Every structure is written in C-alpha cells, then in structure tokens.
Structure 1
C-alpha cells in the first residue's frame, strides 16, 4: 500500500539526525583496557538506548523504531542477516531458501526441524505465511487520497516497510508438512533475498488465538481463502481478516511486560522483564541452537536520550555499551573517558547529506540548475562540517553508491561528479549572465550540521549573484515543507539500504514515493524498471552506474558527504563492533562477552 511505503521511506530515509550504522569497512578493534582482562561465560552487561521499548512488533507502523527493532533482532532469528561489512550472511542453522525457478521467479523457504518459539511451539510455514500477508499488502483494496487516507475499500495490515517486492507475488504454497513456503513472483524482482525479511518475529499461533481462530492452521486456511484485493473493485471488508490484522497491527504494543505469549522469542535472547520507561531485561534463550549461541546470561537495556548522560554512565561503569550522537563536544568527551577504559569506534554511516534542486520553480531551467550547483562548496563542507567529527570523512561523489561498495570508484570516475569537485564562482556567473534569481533553501535549522551547510552554501551562491532566502524550518515543520515541495534547494539526507537496489527506483523514478523534487527522466525511468527486475549483481551495478551519471547530468543536485557516528563500550564487555546496519552494534549481539 503506497501510504505505508511512503511512511517508511520518510521514517528511515530522511535523515534529520545521525543514523547509526555503516563504517567504511570494519574498523580495527581497540585494545582491551588491561592486559589481564579475561572473558567468561555468563555475566550481565548494560546497554543504553535513546528511546524506550514500546512494541514486540517492530514491523508495524506503530511498532517501528530503533529500540524495538534492536530488541526484535536480539530475540528472533531467521534465514539471514547483514554483517558489519554489508554482506548478507545466511543462517543455515535456521533454515534455507533457494531459487527454484527464474521464469517465473520462484523462491522456496524451508525451516529446519527443531527451530521453535520459546513456548515450545515449532516455527512453521504458518509464521512465514502471516509475515507475507502483512508485508505484501495482498489483501488491501483501498483507494487513498493525496494525504494517504483511505477513502474507499479496506487497508488491513499496517505494515511499516516497503511492499514493492512481495506485492508482486501470488498466493504462497505451503509444503513439506508445514515446514516450507514457496513464493512465485509475477515479474522478476532484484531484492528477492531480503523481501520476506531477515527474521521471523510474529508467532502465527498466538495471533490466530487472539483473533478468535482455533490455531495457526485455521489462520492459514482463512488467508488462503481470501482473494487478492483490487482497489478498482473493492469488496465488503472481511471481518475475520480484520480481527487478525487489527491484532497484528497493535496487539503486540506495550510499555510494560505483557502476557508472556506476546513476548515469545525464537532467537538468542528472551525478554525477561520490562519496567515502563526505565529498563528492559534480556536473558539467554537456553534452547537456542539454530544460530550462534550467546554467552551472556543477561543484557539490561536502560534508556537515556542525552549523549552527555550516556558518556557519563560509561565513565561510571553503570553502562557498558552506548552509541551517543556524534558532535564535536561529544567526541571530546569520549576522548576524555578513554582513561576510564571506554573505547570508541567512529565511522561513516549509511546516511548521507545532499543538496537537491526542485525541478519546478526558479530552477526549472537547466542552466540555472548548473549555475547553482557550481556554487556549492562541497570540499569546504566536508572539511569544516564532516572532518571535525571523523578525520577520514571525504566528499561523497555518488548518489547510488557508498564508498564502501566496490563500484563506487568506477562510477565516480565517469558520472560527472568531477565537474563539481569544488565551487566555481566564475563559471556560475557566466551561466547567470547578470541574472540574480532568488532561491529558497530549505533545511532543518535545529540540526547544527544542516545549519552549517546552509551558511556555507548560501555565502557561496550569493557570491555568484543568487539571492538566497533562508527557508530553514524547525524539526517539527521542515519535513512537511519537504513533502510539500516548498523549496528551490533542499538540504536533507537518505539512509541507504545496507543491501539490494530497491531504494534507487523509490527515489529517482518519476512520481515515486521518495521523489521529492519533481525529478523526471524517461531514460532513468526505464533503467529503474530494469533494475527492479534484474537479479544479477553485476548487471544491477551497471544499471546503477548509468542512473548515477544521468542524475548528475540532469542537475538533480549534489551529494555532500556521509554522516559519521560513534559506538562506545566499557572495559567489562568484549566483542562489540561498530556496524553499518540499522541495528547498529547489536548486529553481533551473540558475540558479546563479559570481561572480568
């Protein structure tokens, strides 16, 4: 459903603050604080997260959020995960997935015998079927207004992710005595390996009973008997499906420890207890052997949104792991607590900043777009804004690749970014030919990084003859202004997907949910269509390189730099490693060990 796709796009992609994640490769592991430190089985460590836990369903629109996602990751398992080098790692101990046909694209998922929920019930294809039902939008027949409200028909599952891939599948087939599920796509889809999700998080047998059905088999029978929704011919809402969807949507939301059946795990840890707004306690799942077995007895999660308080807790050893927001002051504070055994890893995230031009309005003319882009002092921005936080920060020269990715150097050598390596005021003046167009620059004025970018860009543009209007908005207003297109130039960021290519069409295709600046190019549209259906990695990269070049050539805007972030940990934990993925340092939680 488009409303859900655009909601997720803004939640995960428009980076108003630092997005925790990717480093440009794996940073070297800092030395332990003492030569005699030894790791041991068991033990407890404390992790600080900025926001409280609120839901056991991190895939719903009400449950999505960083803390929920990280707890979900620690308490559930699945077919694969993304490591700190942005590589997709298969978990063959959980099960396997295999492509059994290219025409049509057909994928079979099989769960291994012995994989179970913490109440002893087996993880089965019914759990995969429910996950598909929620993430595909298959049953929706809703028509939406421009504000994405339902005006007729029904929208059932409030899924917080992107439905692009699974919406192209037909009704799944369950086999092998309920241990396998086979999906067939109506057209090729490049990101099929991650389309169904990396973890299996919601128990179908619990949802079934809570919705008034006998068991998981009855739930599957219900879902199998309902046809695909058609917005052009909506039907009377199905009351049984509505009960199932309503419970999936909000039934797992909670701020305190719920009925244990709503906190089931199939992963390395279990949620043992929750104190609303204060802490959450994880305990080791002693039955878990379908993945790397953890060693810690417990992990206690406390909440504090203030970076200064996080750093103070690391110093006092009342916390062991934290990811404080990276600012010059916080970086200095982290350096000061190094003598207390606190180690810090800093690197580039998957979030990057950019200056994007609106193709409607004063910059609709190509020459004016080029003139403005010639004024953007990208090197100065990197030197003055990015490098003080990360000495390795550089100008970003691609819209579709990050520096850690192999095609980055090849694409940047030919995409046209070299023509905008530094500000060229004389070239901009020549293109303006005496004109003094007024441009309105939108940015989040509550973000000091964006405010600094505005100051540098504004001063440079005015030197060339542009009249600049400060369109800065507060945190509560700027995103709406961005969605409304109330700008000529906008300073904002995307957080790239750690794997796959699905985000490229979402951003650059004409009319796409995340195309916020009215960019339209028929060749780019054709290439994004090919990209969405191309399964071969090398061919995907070739298509993305063409898109990268065309976007630069059209005067879309300019990428500026990748944001940086920090992960810090104290002397009583080892195995913590800065990561490029949305779950941050939690990506290898099973490797964390207590240090005496």
Structure 2
C-alpha cells in the first residue's frame, strides 16, 4: 500500500451551504480502449463508493442537503467557481464571469457565456439566475418566527433553502442584461462571502413549467412581486408558493424519473441509470465544453455503508475509489492490500456532534444540561478516533477546530471545560428524581455514530434517562432531521472551509438547517454583524462570542473532528485528497485510468 499522510491544517469556519456528513449493483466493466480526446484521458469507467444513498436531484433544500446529493450535483450542475484542495476559490470562466463593478456599494455582475445549455438544449441564462437569486435571498419571505421554538407564527417562508439567506438578502431585485445572459446584484452593505454567495439552483424553465407558468412568466413573477415585510405579512402569493413548493420537493427521488426534465444537466456528466439504494451511473455530457472536461466516459457510484465491505470491493477490483469510515481496522485492512491501492489520510472539515431539541423533553434547560453531563466525550474519542489520531481530544467548540486561530481562546471561555468527562452525580442532581425518556436518532449504518450512540445511551441510563434507539438507515436519517420525531440526534456537518455564512445557516433563528430550533436574539445580532464583516480578526472575535452563547444555551455537544481516509486503485490516477465536503470528487475531471 502506498500511504500518504495529508498534514495540511484545516479550518471549519463555515461555507455557503454546509452539508450533512456521511461519515450490490452492476458496476459494469472498465474499458480504456474507447479513448477521450476532448478530456485528454483514456476514456473508460471509474467506479466510486459513497456511504449514503442518493435521494434528490436538488441538494439545496434542507432535506436534500446530504453529501451524496451534493456530489452528484457537483458533476451535473455548472457553477461560476469551485474550491480546490488548497481551499482556494477557482473561477470557471468557460462557464461565465463575475466581476465587481463597485466596492461602495458592493455591486457584482454575473454573465453566462454564449453556448452554455441544459441537456435538453435550452440555454442557461438570466432566467436561471433570477430563480437562484429568489431562492438564496429569501427576498419574498415575510414570516415571523417564535423566538423560543423557531416555528413560523405569521407570514410565509417560500423556498426551503438549506443555506443562509442573509447575504443575498442584502441585495434587491437583480438587473438583467446582455440579451438575458447577465444579472447585476447591488448590496446594501459589504458582504464577507460575496464571492461564494451566489450559485446556480437548477433549470428555471423546468420549475416554471411544473408550476404552470412559462419561463418568461416566472421571471416576471420574480422581478415584480413585492419584497416580503415581516412587519406587515401579506397573503401568500399563490403563484410563487406553487413555484417554491415544486422546487422544495419536486426533485426528490431515489430512482431515475421517467421525466428527463427532472434531472437535466449543464455539467460534465448526465445521470443515466439509478438502482435505488444501490448505485447510480453517470455518463459524459457530449455537449459540455464550458469547464474542466473529464478524462473518463462514465462514473458508476455504488452505495456501500460498511467500511469492510468497501475495502473488500476495492480488493476484488469491483470499485476503484473509496472513502470509507475512518478507523484503525479500516487502515489495517487497506494495509493488507499492499501496492494494489493508494491510501490518503488527513483531518476533515467535518465534526460529529450531539444536538438536543429545544422542544419536548428538552424544553427544560436543566434536563438538557443533565443529558449533556452524561455524555462520555473522552470515552467516545478514545473508542472511535484515538487509534487513528493518537493526539485526538474532544472537540471543544461549535464553530472552530484546533487549526483555527480562535479555537484555543473560545474553548477556554465557552464553558466546554464543564463537559470533558461524564458527570453522573451532577446529572442526577439536575434531574432531581426525574427519569426522562429521550429518543436519540442517528445513522445506524455509520459505525462511528452507532458506537457513539451506544456509549451515550449506556452512560445516560446511569443518571436515570431512558434512551430509546431512534437509529435510521443511511437513506433515511437526513430526511428525518428537523421533523420532531426525535429528541436528540448524532450527525455531522462538513464545510467547504471558505467563508462564514455557515454560522447563521446552522444557528440562525428560523434557518432551514437549524434543525433543533436554537434561537438567540443576541446570537442573531452577532451573526448579522458577522456576515458583513470582512476583517478576519473581527470575524474570529464575533464567532468566539457566538460560540459561548451556543454553549450557554445547552445546545448539545461537539464530539470530535473527523479523520478522513481515501483509498483508490493503483490503476487510477488524478485522485487528490480534499478535506471539505466535496471529498475526492473535487477534481473528478482529472480521474483517469492508466493505460
């Protein structure tokens, strides 16, 4: 085995949209004889494994925002830029250009190049960008939220966008130009993450048709509908609600739709086949030339949750690339394969955590604190992470990892010192004789999450808690988040490593990704300031304050920063380690089969 240790420091910070972390189909055969002149490669097929099963062609909703969905979108949906494995933003000027027209007020123009089109032949243009802006800006929302529960009290929230809307919410209706190929955004305040703020969100002509509109009618609806005002909420706009309702759920599927418009591509690959909960096949988009061009003709994605099964599939030559659950056993199994594989290991921009709902049994702050007191964080780290990373410790921040400048200061002052080891006597004292029942949800197909559940449940029982096993399968747990069907959950967030907007995405009152309904006016105010702060030192200062407020509210507990392991066949080249949510997929266009 050729082993590469990736020692680069990584930082969680945040991203435009953090993704939920993952932590026996026909795969076809490799045929390198077909060639691939356009991409400069040898053609053929690469077979890659993912832990979670595909569930939606819209990875931008709170439900669809699972890592596998995002990776498929990355191969089939073009964007103005991407992030490389040095965590640097790289522009894709073959797709389109964005330029800053003014610093004060901040004004940014986006232009899509001529010839860029969807796989049904329709052009990618300003109609698509207007829809994307409407989704990401929250411009039409006029909902007022209950500060205690985060639930809507009055008004309407239209699009169930997984990311944070506060950035593009600083812009007004875009100006359309260049024969319907450009939009210009003008910000009312400086915005820290402006370069990653705007992204394409799908085909407007499809959303329009499914909502009973023409594309022109949809764009007019977006440009003419008044901005939402929570102080004076209007009656829900029926047409806009129909558009949003379709976008929110219309692309969710575990199988290949008979309607091809539901999985259009303007990227390097097109989805060709799906075996539900088993595999997906992607084939080259023959028209694509507006970005990095792939070197292979097809990619088969197999869903295998168990690490030993992934390693066995790699050993048998059934797959070419895996990113299995990191464990000492996994590394030993890979080591036994010798020079047959290349293995890379490094820190991830991902952390596992336990979140407690602010409703139900945990509405009582004392009960939340008591449950947190029972969590054996050090034992969890020793059991799951220590063999992989001997110096691993419990993660003591909700916003930083140890590589961040603000981590040490935040950990020193945020209250995490009170939760290093389980303290059963303190938990019993807080419960004062109560024996609360807690339903704990997690991905039961993820060995690390199963181990963490077992350790937490056994420890909590000692204090009087009755813990109910709410484990769900790999294709189910993501969709269950935020549904109120559990009291606590173990899962992971994984970041792009760029920007700060992931903070309000998770912790902002009413955010679609704020699954446990945390709400703090003081934290919201600090987050509003954070997104318009461009000085990194000031950003760190604000995040330290936010981190403490989260801990003070008995939100739950970060458990550990994840370690990543990638392994691939020695017959494959071009794979490079990536610490963020894109993983090995970040440069899939470089994957190639050696001759």
Task: Please give the TM-score of this superposition, normalised by the length of structure 2.
Answer: 0.74
What is the CA–CA distance in structure 2 between the aligned matches of 1:112 and 1:260, rounded to whole Å?
24
Residue 248 of structure 1: SS of its match in structure 2? helix
CA RMSD of aligned residues (A): 4.6
Mapping of 1:243-254 within 5 angstroms? 244-253=243-252
Could you tell me whether the CA contact under 8 Å between 2:176 and 2:183 is conserved in 1?
yes
Alpha-carbon spacing, 1:265–1:376, altered in 2? closer, same or farther (3 Å)? closer
Question: Who is 1:566 aligned against?
Answer: 565
Greater Cα radius of gyration, structure 1 or 2? 1
**1:418-463 deviation per Cα after TM superposition (whole angstroms, max 9, x unaligned):** 95696598xx99x99x99956869655854332354379669xx8x
What is the CA–CA distance in structure 1 between the aligned matches of 2:553 and 2:222, rounded to whole Å?
46
Residue 115 of structure 1: SS of its match in structure 2? coil
Question: Who is 1:475 aligned against?
Answer: 471
Mapping of 1:500-515 within 5 angstroms? 500-505=499-504, 514=514
Could you tell me whether the CA contact under 8 Å between 1:52 and 1:67 is conserved in 2?
yes
Please report how far the alpha carbon of residue 167 of structure 1 lies from its aligned counterpart in structure 2 after TM superposition. Answer: 3.5
Mapping of 1:291-310 within 5 angstroms? 291-310=291-310
Alpha-carbon spacing, 1:535–1:436, altered in 2? closer, same or farther (3 Å)? closer
Aligned length, in residue pairs: 544
What is the CA–CA distance in structure 2 between the aligned matches of 1:595 and 1:554, rounded to whole Å?
54
Question: Who is 1:24 aligned against?
Answer: none
Alpha-carbon spacing, 1:137–1:470, altered in 2? closer, same or farther (3 Å)? same
Alpha-carbon spacing, 1:449–1:168, altered in 2? closer, same or farther (3 Å)? farther
Question: Who is 2:222 aligned against?
Answer: 223
Residues 505-514 or 318-327, more deviating: 505-514
What is the CA–CA distance in structure 2 between the aligned matches of 1:250 and 1:544, rounded to whole Å?
33
Please report how far the alpha carbon of residue 324 of structure 1 lies from its aligned counterpart in structure 2 after TM superposition. Answer: 2.9
What is the CA–CA distance in structure 2 between the aligned matches of 1:424 and 1:76, rounded to whole Å?
46
Question: Who is 2:195 aligned against?
Answer: 193
**1:212-255 deviation per Cα after TM superposition (whole angstroms, max 9, x unaligned):** 555x444323322222244534236444x455445534554552
- Unaligned runs of 5+ residues in structure 2 are 1-14, 24-39
What is the CA–CA distance in structure 1 between the aligned matches of 2:264 and 2:484, rounded to whole Å?
42
Residue 401 of structure 1: SS of its match in structure 2? coil
What is the CA–CA distance in structure 2 between the aligned matches of 1:435 and 1:298, rounded to whole Å?
57
Residues 564-573 or 170-179, more deviating: 564-573
Please report how far the alpha carbon of residue 342 of structure 1 lies from its aligned counterpart in structure 2 after TM superposition. Answer: 3.1
Question: Who is 2:176 aligned against?
Answer: 174
Question: Who is 1:450 aligned against?
Answer: 452
Could you tell me whether the CA contact under 8 Å between 2:394 and 2:420 is conserved in 1?
no
Alpha-carbon spacing, 1:372–1:249, altered in 2? closer, same or farther (3 Å)? closer
Residue 349 of structure 1: SS of its match in structure 2? strand
Check if 1:69 corresponds to 2:64. Answer: no
Question: Who is 2:10 aligned against?
Answer: none
Could you tell me whether the CA contact under 8 Å between 1:266 and 1:288 is conserved in 2?
yes
What is the CA–CA distance in structure 1 between the aligned matches of 2:477 and 2:273, rounded to whole Å?
38
Alpha-carbon spacing, 1:72–1:541, altered in 2? closer, same or farther (3 Å)? same
Alpha-carbon spacing, 1:143–1:549, altered in 2? closer, same or farther (3 Å)? closer
Mapping of 1:421-500 within 5 angstroms? 443-444=440-441, 447-451=449-453, 453-454=455-456, 467-471=463-467, 473-475=469-471, 492=490, 494-498=492-496, 499-500=498-499
Mapping of 1:110-509 within 5 angstroms? 110-140=111-141, 156-197=158-199, 200-214=200-214, 216-230=215-229, 232-235=232-235, 237-239=237-239, 241=240, 244-253=243-252, 255-256=255-256, 258-274=258-274, 279-327=279-327, 329-336=329-336, 338-339=337-338, 341-354=340-353, 361=364, 363=366, 379-391=378-390, 393-408=392-407, 415=413, 443-444=440-441, 447-451=449-453, 453-454=455-456, 467-471=463-467, 473-475=469-471, 492=490, 494-498=492-496, 499-505=498-504
**1:483-528 deviation per Cα after TM superposition (whole angstroms, max 9, x unaligned):** 87998xx784551532322333455567877385968584x55433
Could you tell me whether the CA contact under 8 Å between 1:142 and 1:234 is conserved in 2?
no
What is the CA–CA distance in structure 2 between the aligned matches of 1:362 and 1:136, rounded to whole Å?
34
Residue 465 of structure 2: SS of its match in structure 1? strand
What is the CA–CA distance in structure 2 between the aligned matches of 1:133 and 1:65, rounded to whole Å?
22
Residue 383 of structure 2: SS of its match in structure 1? helix
Alpha-carbon spacing, 1:485–1:40, altered in 2? closer, same or farther (3 Å)? closer
**1:173-212 deviation per Cα after TM superposition (whole angstroms, max 9, x unaligned):** 1123322212233445433332222xx3522234445555
What is the CA–CA distance in structure 1 between the aligned matches of 2:277 and 2:553, rounded to whole Å?
49
Alpha-carbon spacing, 1:377–1:262, altered in 2? closer, same or farther (3 Å)? closer
- Unaligned runs of 5+ residues in structure 1 are 1-8, 21-38
What is the CA–CA distance in structure 2 between the aligned matches of 1:327 and 1:277, rounded to whole Å?
24
Question: Who is 1:34 aligned against?
Answer: none
Alpha-carbon spacing, 1:436–1:548, altered in 2? closer, same or farther (3 Å)? closer
Alpha-carbon spacing, 1:380–1:94, altered in 2? closer, same or farther (3 Å)? same
Please report how far the alpha carbon of residue 589 of structure 1 lies from its aligned counterpart in structure 2 after TM superposition. Answer: 0.8
Residue 124 of structure 2: SS of its match in structure 1? coil
Please report how far the alpha carbon of residue 74 of structure 1 lies from its aligned counterpart in structure 2 after TM superposition. Answer: 0.5
